[in-house]
Amino acid sequence: MVVAPCDVFPRLVPAGAQLLVNPGPAPEIYTWKQVKKLAGMCSQRPANRSISFEMVLDMFLRMETRQGWDFSKPMLWGYYFTNAEAKPLERARDRLVRGGYRFVDLHQSEKEAAGDPNEWWLHVEKEEVHSPMSLDNRNDDLYRIALEFGLASYDGMDVGPIVGP
């Protein structure tokens, strides 16, 4: 079962109404009774999440409008993590690669000033189909991985069409 975005539940939804929680290519409509049951799952959301469902939905709408991309087909999704040290990112990388992600890069950012703290970046990618709801759920999974490995952050994602054969 797909968990509905918890960002929706604080809003007033009239009893008896149906709630569209995934306006993407495969809409998911929940009855009021289902919404109340799913609302109880919100406590399972990672505490460190900063990308809301509304932000994901807005991103999809902008890309469909400006780019004309077809999100019903696989796209190349890049995911980014940061930390002050490389070792925890290496462990997270190994876990993500075992989970089907492709390793792209692990590098240290250039410092603007000598006293600036270290900042390492991990970039992984995966070819997959996402709706706003499935990407919101993917983000939750990646926030949990960042917590599990003690990373400074799961920084977010980018997306583009798959290029080449």
Task: Give per-residue pLDDT as tens, 61-81.
Answer: 888 777 778 888 899 999 999
- Using alpha carbons, select from 47, 60, 57 the residue that is nearest to residue 153: 47
130, part of any domain: yes
* 6 within some domain: no
Q: Is residue 27 part of a domain?
A: yes
Q: Three-state SS for 129?
A: coil
Q: Does 105 fall in a domain?
A: yes
Q: Cβ(35)–Cβ(9) under 8 Å?
A: yes
For residue 4, tell me if it sits in a domain: no
* Residue 11, domain member (yes or no): no
pLDDT, mean over the chain: 78
13's tokens: 């939804």
Q: 16-65, pLDDT tens digit by residue?
A: 444 445 444 555 555 555 555 555 445 456 666 778 888 888 888 888 77
What are 82's strand-pairing partners? Answer: 121, 153
CB 131 within 8 A of CB 81: no
Residue 9 lies in a domain: no
CATH of the domain at 67: 3.30.70.970
Domain count, the chain: 1
Q: Which domain holds residue 57?
A: 16-160
Label residues 119-131 b or e (16+ Cβ within 10 Å = b).
bbbbbbbbeebbb
